[in-house]
Structure 1
Amino acid sequence: MYSLHVKSALIKSPYWKKLSEVNRHRNTIWSFYRNDPWNVLDFVAFTLWIVGFITRFIVRDHAFEVSKICMSIDLCLWYMRCLHVFLASERLGPKLLMIFHTMKDLMSFLFFILIFLSAYAITTYSLITTSSFVIWTNSTYFTTVQNGGNLTNIEILRNIIEWGTWKIFGSTSLTTSDSVEIKYTAKNDAYGFVTLILTIAFLVVAYVLLLNNLIALFNFTIQRVHGESHRTWCYHFYVVLKEYEEKDMFVPPLNLCLWPISYYMRKRLHDSTKKRNNTFIAHDNYDVKHIRKQQQRIAEKYWKEKQISKDGSIHQRPYVCRQCKCRGTEADYIESTFL
């Protein structure tokens, strides 16, 4: 009973309300950060780099393999991170958004493709390798070869994946690729005949049905993104410019070392601008402020329409990011388009 009174007193206290507001605000910021795919890409890239950097100093062959693989994947992710700059381009920005949306559609189809791929690859590979596992001397006596020719589990898994993956892209060869150490083929026997029938069925399902449905879904997604390309590009253009405007010129920790130099340069620039003509300065400031207001209205309109289309209600206040400094639903729907 005493604990209930203490709990109720804590809940009614102003400090508890402030803590709850801080916690709610922190969850909102974390949700916004997590929903941005570029932030997720940065987190994965930094994690791989830290793992690769630490394991590089461990003098073991397996640790060196982990370090090399992590560094290689991390380099690939940082190359992909450079695509963020192209969002500000009116021509390339919508194309990049089309790629992102089609990748989301592909992820939903990978579940079905993996099911058919696993069913076909494991079944047919077990059939064409039977002669290497079991050797019949006559109709009643046989001998078994251990592990199918001394293959490790990793090699068997790699051979199964490679055997089934190329069939998705239309390969009709019933012989394993030359990259494996021991080649297998579908012979002219019962195992080979069943493998041929299963290969035809898998090609019809995967190559004809699934891939064509995926292409049709891509076409619908591209048309939908193309219809909203200009409005979406205006928003991303504003966000990219705002982000690069607020960031420092130098990356951490160099920004701390070079801060006195940048402070001195800003001070000299500020002193030199006072000697200019006030007419031109006022005109330039007016143009910059006018462009900023236009970009801010476009960003507010984009987030409002996106929230309305998601929730189906105009009375619900949309969540607006702090990054673009929008101020809720006060912007008008009828705004001039930023050119």
Structure 2
Amino acid sequence: MKYGKQRITDWTKNFWNHLDLLAVVLLFFAAILRFTIPERDFDVARWLYSLSFIVYVLRFTQVFYVIEQLGPKIIMIKKMMADLGLFCVILLMTVLMFGVVSQTIIEPESKLNYDLITSVVYRPYFHMYGELFLEDYQGYRSLLLALYMILTNVLLLNLLIAMFSYTFEKVQERSEILWKYNYYAIVCEHVDRPYIPLVGTFIQICRPSPGFRITLGADHNSKITKFVKGRVEKHLADERRKTYQDMAYKVTNTAQRFEMMMEQLGDLKDDAIRKIPPFLRDTFGLDDLRELRPGTSYPKLQKTIKHEKAHSFLFGYSGQ
């Protein structure tokens, strides 16, 4: 008994099962009315047949979940329908507001009846689709129509587009994950789906599970939790190791660059020594010049440079 209640609960939680039940009920009543009501009232049966067909077509869209390109699009449509429902609440308030005001201005002496109620909604609703009824809005009334068109066709319409765009981007970012999840859900649903409608559904609810686990017990959940925790720890350890390796690589690369820079500085120093005038080479020697350091006083060198400047001034020695 407990197992049957659990199966019934699982069955009622599925949205597609609700569509199945609705389609079957509509078809059942349509078939009854087809053979019981007079021919002049047969439109009711036609309506039920039509609604049943629409529900069956909507139910068939679940098949597209297994297609990677179409599955996320079906999810987008479902979420956009929810956005559209919220938008319709705002739109209904705007339509009723303008409908009551316009009806009061255009037909101030109209009586309360069914035609009055329909006209309150009829006129502003078709304004959104371009049917403006300009003959009813002359003079200052056109300002009211202009304000309403700005609110609905500009502000509210762009709001709806923005809501749809946000939903599309949010689903598109996780399209692959959503597709895999719904693919798995379809596999779980059809693994023991009965071949016979209605009667097979009751048999499915009452019979034991065929072995494919849809719900897990405490032991299996504990094992899966340990497995996931271990994989997460391994992933974090790999990421830390990669970080340390990157730091070691950066340190090694910096040391190599420093060595290359020192070699280049040594080459520049050798080039500078080769460009020193010959009299300095002869006076100090090449080894002494290699020991020169900036900021250090060398009296012998300063004396030689002054002597060379005086000699050049007296005898025109250019030092070449």
TM-score normalised to structure 2 length: 0.55
Between Structure 1 and Structure 2, which shows a larger proportion of helix residues? 2
Gaps of 5+ in 2: 202-211, 233-320
Q: Equivalents in 2 of 1:254, 1:31: separation in Å?
A: 17
Compared with structure 1, are the counterparts of its residues 89 and 108 closer, same or farther at alpha carbon in structure 2 (3 Å cutoff)? same
Question: Per-residue displacement from partner, 1:263-320 (whole Å, max 9, x unpaired)?
Answer: xxxxxxxxxxxxxxxxxxxxxxxxxxxxx9xxx8xxxxxxxxxxxxxxxxxxxxxxxx
The one-character-per-residue Cα deviations of 1:103-139 (angstroms, maximum 9, x if unpaired) are 11211221111111122234424544569x5xxxxxx
Using a 3 Å threshold, how does the CA distance of structure 1 residues 241 and 161 change in structure 2: closer, same or farther? same
Q: Is the counterpart of residue 82 in structure 1 residue 92 in structure 2?
A: no
Aligned mates of 1:117, 1:174 — CA distance in 2:
15
Verify: 1:102 aligned to 2:80, yes or no: yes
Query: What is the identity, as a one-letter code, of the residue corresponding to 1:174?
Result: F
Q: Residues 243 and 121 from structure 1, CA distance in 2 versus in 1: closer, same or farther, beyond 3 angstroms? A: same
Shift of 1:92: 0.6
The SS at the match of 1:91 is: coil
Q: 1:327 to 1:101 in 2, by over 3 A?
A: farther
Name which one, 1 or 2, has greater alpha-carbon Rg.
2
**1:92/1:116 CA distance change after superposition, 3 Å:** same
Partner of 1:233: 179
Aligned residues: 216
The answer (yes or no) to whether the contact 1:55–1:63 under 8 Å persists in 2 is no
1:244 to 2:194 alignment: no
| In structure 1, C-alpha distance between the alignment counterparts of 2:69 and 2:165, rounded to whole Å | 19
Q: Is the 8 A contact 1:87 1:233 kept in 2?
A: yes
SS at match of 1:111: helix
Q: Is structure 2 residue 120 aligned with structure 1 residue 174? A: no
Letter of the 1:98 counterpart: M
One-letter identity of the residue aligned with 2:67: S
What TM-score, normalized by structure 1, do the two folds share?
Answer: 0.53
Task: Report the counterpart of residue 53 of structure 1 in structure 2.
Answer: 31
1:92 partner letter: L
1:214 has 2:174 as partner = no
**Other-structure match for 2:90:** 112
Distance 1:330 1:236, change over 3 A: farther
Is structure 2 residue 49 aligned with structure 1 residue 71? yes
Write the letter of the residue equivalent to 1:173. L
| 1:75-94 per-position Cα deviation (integer Å, ceiling 9, x unaligned) | 11111111010001111101
Kept after mapping to 1: 8 A contact 2:76/2:171:
yes
CA distance in 2: counterparts of 1:242 and 1:68, whole angstroms: 36
- Paired residues of 2:27 and 2:52 also in contact (CA < 8 A): yes
Residues 254/187 of structure 1: CA separation in 2 closer, same or farther (3 Å cut): closer
Gaps of 5+ in 1: 1-18, 134-146, 176-184, 256-291, 297-320
Tell me what 1:142 maps to. Answer: none
Secondary structure of 2:144's aligned partner: helix
Distance (whole Å) between structure 2 residues aligned to residue 39 and residue 164 of structure 1: 38
Task: Tell me which amino acid in the other structure corresponds to 1:218.
Answer: F
Residues 38, 81 of structure 1: 8 Å contact kept: yes
Distance 1:127 1:250 in 2: 61
SS in 2 for 1:246: coil
Q: Which one-letter code corresponds to 2:125 in the other structure?
A: T
- CA distance in 2: counterparts of 1:102 and 1:226, whole angstroms: 13
Match status 1:186 vs 2:136: yes
What's the Cα RMSD here?
3.7
Aligned ranges for residues 12-161 of structure 1 at < 5 Å?
22=2, 26=5, 32-60=10-38, 63-125=41-103, 127-129=105-107, 153=114, 160-161=120-121
Indicate conservation of the 8 Å contact 2:34/2:42, yes or no.
Answer: yes
Cα gap change, 1:57 to 1:173, in 2 (>3 Å)? same
Residues 68 and 329 of structure 1: is their aligned pair in 2 closer, same or farther, counting only changes over 3 Å?
Answer: farther
